[in-house]
Amino acid sequence: MTEPERPPAAGAATTLVTAALVVVLGGAAVAGALNLGVGSASAPGPGMWPALVGAALVVLGGVLAARARGTEDAERFTRTGLLVLAATGTMVVFVAVVGVIGFEIPTVSLAFVWLRFLGRESWRLSAIVSVAATAAFYLLFVGALGVTIPHLF
Amino acid sequence: MDSLSPVLDGFAVVLEPKNLLYCLLGVVIGMLIGVLPGLGPAATIAILLPMTFGLEPVTSIIMLAGIFYGAQYGGTITSVLLRLPGEASSVVTVFDGHAMARQGRAGTALGIAAIGSFTGGTLSIVALTLVAPFVAGFALDFGPPEYTALALLGILLVATVSNGGKVKALIAAAAGLLLATVGRDDFISVERFTFGNLSLADGLDFVPIAMGLFGLGEILYNLEERHRATQAPAAVTDVWPSRADLRQASGAIGRGGVLGFLLGILPGGGAVLSSLAAYAWEKRRARHPERFGHGAIEGVAAPETANNAAATSSFIPLLSLGIPANATMAVIFGALLIQGVTPGPQLVTEHPELFWGVVNSMYLGNVLLLIMSLPLVGLFVRILRVRPAILAPITALITLIGAYTVRNDVFDIGLVVFFGVLGYLMKKTGFDPGPLVLAFVLGSLLETSLRRSLLLFDGNPAGFLTRPISGVLLACFLLVAVLPAARTLLHRRRAHLDRVPSGNE
Amino acid sequence: MRSRVLGASVATVLALSACGGNLDDSASDAGSTFPERAVRVLVGQDAGGSTDLIARALAEPASADLKKPVTVLNKAGANGGVAAKELAGAEADGYTLMVFNGSLAYITPLAVAADEAVDINGFEVVTGVSQDDYVLVANPKTGFKTVKDIVDAKRPITFATTGVGTGSQLCQELLFAQASVDATAVPFNGGAPALTAALGGQVDVAAVQLGEGQSQIKAGKVTPIVTFAAERPAYLPDTPTAQESGYTALVQQSRAIVAPKGAPRETLDRLRAAFQKAFAEQKYKDFNAQRSLTPNEVDGATLLRQWNASRDTYRGLIEKYKIDLSGKS
């Protein structure tokens, strides 16, 4: 077993926030569903099913909140979470530019940033791996499979 | 034995060198695209369709069929190693497969999956050979009410397969059901929860959700983990399943094969339901169900056997009724048409060499896949020896580009990122993504079947109970749902009585 | 054999890499040199459906004439609305085309909100392709053989459609409204599931495209009742049309190759010539016969007239018979 021990557990506050979000999601679904029209049993409307599911979410969110003290399966958010934020940022940029400048440059850049800054690999290795990976993706997806992803070359 | 001669002639067709070669080509291509997340067998077959124009019908279908079941083998590899299920039917494999990989038993997991896949596929072909004409009608007996009952049973199983708290599993499942409602309504043309975005008009696709929640979510989570404690890559020990492993998994393989064969015949959702049902069955009958989700070998063997058996039996409706059971079968249907063969009830009598040639090629294809995959297991598990810092960006990028290939839409790349972040947050707050993804897959089947049934019954739900199959399925549902609850209640009561001997009873 | 396949894939790889990037930033001067690179054909449906198969059957011979690859690209969604939107936004240079479904132009607008409807007049039509007829089929157990049988049964019936806002729904709604049959529509997701429902007796009748129903009709698993064609299709000579039975319900699926508005005339002519070559191929003709498709290889102006006329006719009919295609009725 190489499973590392779990990071510090979060308190009841995290669970309460989660439960609140679940209730909000369910409530929004119910509101949207009612707007769509619920219909009747012989002619069910488009909103009937989402309304039922949304109501279930509200109830379940309530149950979760009521049991917030007993649940210990959540982890505390710590400063290392900033890494995740940074990684997400690079991917958001990837999505934003891929349609405009093709996938090659964003792919090299994303790989390089993850390797060098998030992974603390050496400059040389980061450069080699990111360029090689991009070339491999190009050959595989554009060359062999004929995928129509926006590309420069 | 007059009826046997077309079967034997079919073997003669398969053994022609040209057909052997295309069978090999098909399974190799299939396995490769199965490994790549995103691009599924349906899309690959569509891309390769022009290549088959110059071939004889039987040769081209042998190759295309090979791509289809080959992809089922390949899909397991990424599920186990990288937690990236490429197809809905391999989501369940992730639970125990990836847990085994983290314990350094990736080789065992992949080995047992290959053996299970082979057994499931082969059992299913034997059954197909013997009973195809008799069971084909089974698919037609399933109307909207039966699918409603089946999907309901499926959703219930979803909640039982989860490891975390029951409440959180139910919340995740409800969220999955809600996600399944996004898109243009099938019954009344209004847009639901699309916020005016045309990319959402046809609803969300399974691939970005599964790859985001499982694959990318895991990568993001590990990114944080890595910096907290230095984590060595899992040492890869015992590559082969041991005799004890095989003994432990053999029952699961047998049961998975039967379930897979039966559910695979049903058009729409058969393969997913079969892998889910096989897993839930094993977990329920296990003496220590808590092992599941932490690397139980039966948890890999059962669903992998089931989904391959289902893949094979999904040819039955196509070849004997002319009904495509899933997207890939629809493309193969098209390929047959282009070849001048109309799949339909008369295919077996009009083109016996085609029917039996394709069926018998699957025996061979499964043997080829087993021979290929066992040595490849050793090769693939080496991926785990690559440093996580290097593996992470490469996997993330494959996920992003793979998501694009499904619908050729940049929007789907954005979705993967969104669901990746959600997957990370869910993992942090103790939610299991499994129920969400599976409920999402079954959600639209449940809702549309329910609404169709209500239209057919003119709004009277009693109709579900008067039809034999849906009635039985609903009885099973009640049994599965109520029995454990009743048992717990009984236990509590007994414990209570033990503690208070002078009770009121 | 194998080397041929490998050769073919290597050739494909080379052809694709030779075509360069696909970002369309270099505006090529169209005209005599068209095409200089691969032509994309958008399909608004999933791979394997009728529209997709037609696109693929045409792409092969058209690319042989154009001497550049013609690649089919599936952009499923909103009955083709997603692909149409992409086409409208593409550069009008003839390198992006679409196989446009008639139903998107003349039936969907009657079922969806005005801002979601696609107007075919906002595109250039390269050529018409073919028409697909709808046939009403019944499960043999119902005993229905003619429309009269259904009327005389004097009971509520259920009918399967291939989806909301499709020709399958429109033709059945029109027929049952005129025949005063109490009929409930049950929408399915495409032709195969609708047909399966009729085969299994889940519904009484279903209307599917002829190519989809043909093999089941021949096998006697479903009974053809009427077709919604203008005249009896060659593929089903013994089944009357709705018109012959006394109902106004002429509904067809039609397909055309369409380019963005403003594409140069010479380019459109060059493309039309390439598709004409493809139409003439025996293999393509066989495909049409196999799929029970009736050629409708007219020029752009004729096609627009046909489609606009259909839209106006249908609008008039659904108003007359108070049919709500959005399914809200």
Q: What pLDDT digit, counting tens, does each position of B118-137 carry?
A: 999 999 999 988 887 777 77
> The CATH number of the domain where C73 resides is what?
3.40.190.150
Inter-chain CB proximity C77 and B456 less than 8 Å: no
Residue C320: inside a domain: no
Residue C291: inside a domain: yes
In this structure, the answer to whether residues C128 and C258 fall within a common structural domain is: yes
Distance (Å) of CA B107 to CA B80, B215, B218, C238, C264: 10, 20, 20, 63, 59
Inter-chain CB proximity C23 and A153 less than 8 Å: no
**Apex C210 CA angle, C206 and C216, nearest 5:** 70
In this structure, the answer to whether residues C102 and C194 fall within a common structural domain is: no
At residue C194, does pLDDT exceed 70?
yes
At residue B74, does pLDDT exceed 90?
no
Token pair recorded at residue C238: 């013994």
Tell me which residue of B165, B197, B169 sits closest to B183, measured CA to CA.
B197
In this structure, the answer to whether residues C116 and C143 fall within a common structural domain is: no
Q: What pLDDT digit, counting tens, does each position of C295-314 carry?
A: 999 999 999 999 999 999 99
Q: Which residue has the higher pLDDT, B321 or C210?
A: C210
In this structure, the answer to whether residues C205 and C270 fall within a common structural domain is: no
pLDDT band at B373 (very low <50, low <70, confident <90, very high): confident
The residue from C230, C251, C272 where one domain ends is: C251
Q: What is the DSSP letter of B194?
A: -
pLDDT band at C247 (very low <50, low <70, confident <90, very high): very high
**Mean pLDDT on B326-337:** 81
At residue C224, does pLDDT exceed 90?
yes
C290 in A contact zone (CB under 8 Å): no
Residue C22 has a pLDDT of: 67
Domain that holds residue C78: 38-132+254-315
Percent of chain B, pLDDT > 90? 24
Token pair recorded at residue A109: 């850049």
Nearest to A143 among C13, C21, C40 (CB): C13
In this structure, the answer to whether residues C117 and C164 fall within a common structural domain is: no
At residue C29, does pLDDT exceed 80?
no
A150 contacts in chain C (CB < 8 Å): 21-23
In this structure, the answer to whether residues C158 and C117 fall within a common structural domain is: no
Chains contacting C (3 or more CB pairs within 8 Å): A, B
**Mean pLDDT on C259-275:** 93
Task: Identify each DSSP E strand in C106-222 by its residue range.
Answer: 123-138, 157-161, 183-187, 205-209
State the Cα–Cα distance between residues B148 and B152, nearest whole angstrom: 6
Residue C23: inside a domain: no
pLDDT band at B497 (very low <50, low <70, confident <90, very high): low
pLDDT band at C19 (very low <50, low <70, confident <90, very high): very low
Q: What pLDDT digit, counting tens, does each position of B193-246 carry?
A: 988 787 887 788 888 898 899 989 989 998 887 655 444 555 555 567 888 888
pLDDT band at B53 (very low <50, low <70, confident <90, very high): confident
pLDDT band at A12 (very low <50, low <70, confident <90, very high): confident
Residue C305: inside a domain: yes
At residue A126, does pLDDT exceed 50?
yes
pLDDT band at A41 (very low <50, low <70, confident <90, very high): confident
Task: Name the strand (E) or helix (H) holding A66.
Answer: helix A48-66
In this structure, the answer to whether residues C199 and C225 fall within a common structural domain is: yes
At residue A39, does pLDDT exceed 90?
no
Task: Name the strand (E) or helix (H) holding C225.
Answer: strand C223-227
Tell me which residue of A25, A48, A66 sits closest to B175, measured CA to CA.
A25
B267 in C contact zone (CB under 8 Å): yes
- Nearest chain C residue to A145 by CA distance is C13
Residue B498 has a pLDDT of: 61
At residue B335, does pLDDT exceed 50?
yes
Provide the Cα torsion B100, B101, B105, B110; round to 10°.
90
In this structure, the answer to whether residues C214 and C227 fall within a common structural domain is: yes
Nearest to B405 among A74, A120, A147 (CB): A147
| SS3 of residue C124 by DSSP | strand
> The CATH number of the domain where C197 resides is what?
3.40.190.10
Q: Which residue has the higher pLDDT, A119 or C328?
A: A119
Please provide the average confidence, as pLDDT, over all residues in chain C.
85
Q: What pLDDT digit, counting tens, does each position of C32-87 carry?
A: 578 888 898 999 887 767 888 899 889 989 999 998 888 888 877 777 888 898 89
In this structure, the answer to whether residues C261 and C128 fall within a common structural domain is: yes
Inter-chain CB proximity A151 and C23 less than 8 Å: yes
**Mean pLDDT on B454-465:** 87
Residue B21 has a pLDDT of: 93
Inter-chain CB proximity C23 and A146 less than 8 Å: no
> Based on C-alpha coordinates, what's the Rg of chain C?
21
Q: What pLDDT digit, counting tens, does each position of B393-442 carry?
A: 998 998 899 888 877 889 999 999 999 999 999 989 989 888 999 899 88
At residue B444, does pLDDT exceed 80?
yes
Nearest to C71 among A144, A146, A150 (CB): A146
Chains contacting A (3 or more CB pairs within 8 Å): B, C
At residue C329, does pLDDT exceed 60?
no
- Tally of domains within chain C: 2
Please state which of the ranges B374-383, C99-108, C132-141 shows the lowest mean pLDDT. B374-383
Residue C55: inside a domain: yes
C12 in A contact zone (CB under 8 Å): yes
Residue C3 has a pLDDT of: 42
pLDDT band at B465 (very low <50, low <70, confident <90, very high): confident
pLDDT band at A3 (very low <50, low <70, confident <90, very high): very low
Range C105-143 burial, b when 16+ CB lie within 10 A, else e: bbbbbbbbeeebebebeebbbbbbbbbbbbbbbbbeebe
In chain B, domain spans: 2-466, 472-505
Residue A1 has a pLDDT of: 36
Residue A19 has a pLDDT of: 93
In this structure, the answer to whether residues C115 and C181 fall within a common structural domain is: no
Please provide the average confidence, as pLDDT, over all residues in chain B.
84
Residue B252 has a pLDDT of: 94
pLDDT band at C11 (very low <50, low <70, confident <90, very high): very low
Residue B3 has a pLDDT of: 64
Distance (Å) of CA B331 to CA B42, B67, B164, C53: 6, 12, 39, 9
Residue C142: inside a domain: yes
Helix residue spans in C98-182 (DSSP H): 102-106, 108-111, 147-153, 167-178
CB of C48 within 8 A of CB of B333? yes
The residue from C231, C251, C271 where one domain ends is: C251
Distance (Å) of CA C329 to CA B111, B227, C21, C220: 56, 60, 50, 34
In this structure, the answer to whether residues C142 and C242 fall within a common structural domain is: yes
**Mean pLDDT on C89-101:** 91
pLDDT band at C14 (very low <50, low <70, confident <90, very high): very low
The residue from C195, C217, C251 where one domain ends is: C251
**Mean pLDDT on B25-47:** 82
C 19-48 → A contacts, CB under 8 A: 20-23, 40
| β-pair type (C39-43, C96-101) | parallel
At residue C327, does pLDDT exceed 90?
no
Residue B59 has a pLDDT of: 92
